[in-house]
A and B are shown apart, each in its own frame.
Chain A
Amino acid sequence: MTQKKCIWIIEDDFEIQKLMELVLSTKYNLVFFNTFKAIKDSSLSLNHSSNKPDMFLLDLNLPDGTGFDVIKFLKNENLIQEKNPVVFLTANDSISSKLLGFELGALDYICKPIDPLELKARIDVIFKIYSMINQKQTDEILYIENLEINLIEQNIYSNKNGERVSLGLTYSEYKLLVYFIKKPNILFNREQLLDVLRGDNINTVDRSVDVVIYRLRRKLGEVGKYIKSVYGGGYKFDFNPTQNTSVAKSPLLAEKTA
């Protein structure tokens, strides 16, 4: 069972809090704050508890400050991260406030009154979008042992004494490696692998594959052992994700091999 997402709600109106509780609490964990001081006092301890925020829902007019003060404070304390959307919910519908809210990083600026079901729908959509973005980002970085295969940067990094060092693969080497990783344990003949390399302005004679694989193995170090030669058949990436815990970080690989 997946854990409920947690929303930190900074709202001084009890009736609005009550309403949010009625509509949102079945799906989300809610942590309420009445004042700016309340969030200042408890944010640090709460951030390390199970009630870590996945979203901030901020009222603008608080008894001891504004929602803008809150967002600045949370940013200064590094309590807001890229993956934590901020949404303003306020009766203040002035364009200057809306612009300032977005400038400070809000994802949405919702004006009261709003039907609570619409509010819930908006929150659901924001979480859905964030989940898609986070999933995509996770899919695009794969890990095998101490190697990070970064599909966004199209680069492979190794961890050397805690330092992230690029392996300096050529584009052909990179392409071949990613091709192997995405289809582990499948035997490819030279012709198939040549198709992968074609179009890279390299001279794709039959033995080009052998040369690229030789260089790739050398650069990959320990991970190079997974590229197996099959006599008379070709090459395969002999790798079983279920036997290798590090690959669990790679949803894409797990999905492809499921």
Chain B
Amino acid sequence: MSTQLPAVEKKKFLDRRIAECELFKDFISNNNSEGYSRLCHQLKGSLKMWGFLNLSEVAAQTIFKYMPLNDDGIQRKSLLNQELEIYHSALKNELKQVIISP
């Protein structure tokens, strides 16, 4: 995707994604497989459409990796939290690269 969206809007989008990680955490800790899946489904479309191809790739390798989720306890939760952490870091890195003109 080669969209040239305003940097301010891209930054806001990434901020929303970073905040959304808390929601993912809640879904993982509450075994809310449905909520987790729905959020992943939305992210798949929006990350690419907003032009964040690298992030989309990271998400595919981390938080989308174990879809569909099945309830197999703490070990899976720990694994998912690790994947979420990697995705979260990628978001923050991406945010640093968004340059907002003065």
Residues on A close to B: CB < 8 A?
A: 13, 15-16, 18-19, 22-23, 91, 112-117
Query: Which A residues are CB-close (under 8 A) to B44?
Result: 91, 113
Q: Is the CB of B45 within 8 A of A113?
A: yes
Query: Which A residues are CB-close (under 8 A) to B4?
Result: 117
Instruction: Name which residue of chain A comes closest to B47, CB basis.
Output: A113
Q: Is the CB of A16 within 8 A of B3?
A: no
Q: Is the CB of B6 within 8 A of A112?
A: no
Residues on B close to A: CB < 8 A?
A: 1-6, 9, 13, 16, 41-42, 44-46, 48-51
Beyond A19-B50, A112-B48, 14 additional pairs, beta carbon < 8 A = A13-B45, A15-B46, A16-B45, A16-B46, A16-B49, A18-B13, A19-B46, A19-B49, A113-B1, A113-B48, A114-B49, A115-B51, A116-B3, A117-B3
Query: Which A residues are CB-close (under 8 A) to B2?
Result: 115, 117
Please, how many angstroms separate the alpha-carbon atoms of A22 and B3 in the complex? 11
Please, how many angstroms separate the alpha-carbon atoms of A22 and B4 in the complex? 11
Q: Is the CB of B9 within 8 A of A116?
A: no
Minimum CB–CB distance from A3 to chain B (whole Å) comes to 26
Minimum CB–CB distance from A183 to chain B (whole Å) comes to 51
Query: Which B residues are CB-close (under 8 A) to A91?
Result: 41, 44-45
Interface centre among A15, A16, A22, A117 (most CB of B within 10 A): A15
Query: Which A residues are CB-close (under 8 A) to B42?
Result: 13, 15
Q: Which 5 A-B pairs have the closest CB atoms?
A: A113-B48, A15-B46, A112-B45, A113-B49, A115-B1
The answer, among B6, B16, B46, B48, for a CB contact under 8 Å with A22, is B6
Please, how many angstroms separate the alpha-carbon atoms of A116 and B2 in the complex? 9
Instruction: Name which residue of chain A comes closest to B48, CB basis.
Output: A113
Query: Which A residues are CB-close (under 8 A) to B3?
Result: 23, 115-117
Query: Which A residues are CB-close (under 8 A) to B51?
Result: 115
24 contacts between A and B (CB under 8 A): A13-B42, A13-B45, A13-B46, A15-B13, A15-B42, A15-B50, A16-B45, A16-B49, A18-B13, A22-B9, A91-B41, A91-B44, A112-B45, A112-B49, A113-B1, A113-B45, A113-B48, A115-B1, A115-B51, A116-B3, A116-B5, A116-B49, A117-B2, A117-B4
Minimum CB–CB distance from B69 to chain A (whole Å) comes to 19
Minimum CB–CB distance from B60 to chain A (whole Å) comes to 13
Query: Which A residues are CB-close (under 8 A) to B5?
Result: 19, 22-23, 116
Instruction: Name which residue of chain A comes closest to B9, CB basis.
Output: A22
Query: Which A residues are CB-close (under 8 A) to B46?
Result: 13, 15-16, 19
Minimum CB–CB distance from B20 to chain A (whole Å) comes to 10
Instruction: Name which residue of chain B comes closest to A13, CB basis.
Output: B42
Please, how many angstroms separate the alpha-carbon atoms of A16 and B41 in the complex? 13
Instruction: Name which residue of chain A comes closest to B6, CB basis.
Output: A22
Please, how many angstroms separate the alpha-carbon atoms of A23 and B16 in the complex? 19
Please, how many angstroms separate the alpha-carbon atoms of A114 and B9 in the complex? 18
Instruction: Name which residue of chain A comes closest to B41, CB basis.
Output: A91
Instruction: Name which residue of chain B comes closest to A90, CB basis.
Output: B45
Minimum CB–CB distance from B49 to chain A (whole Å) comes to 5
Query: Which B residues are CB-close (under 8 A) to A23?
Result: 3, 5
Query: Which B residues are CB-close (under 8 A) to A116?
Result: 3, 5, 49
Please, how many angstroms separate the alpha-carbon atoms of A16 and B16 in the complex? 13
Please, how many angstroms separate the alpha-carbon atoms of A113 and B6 in the complex? 19
Please, how many angstroms separate the alpha-carbon atoms of A117 and B51 in the complex? 11
Instruction: Name which residue of chain B comes closest to A21, CB basis.
Output: B9
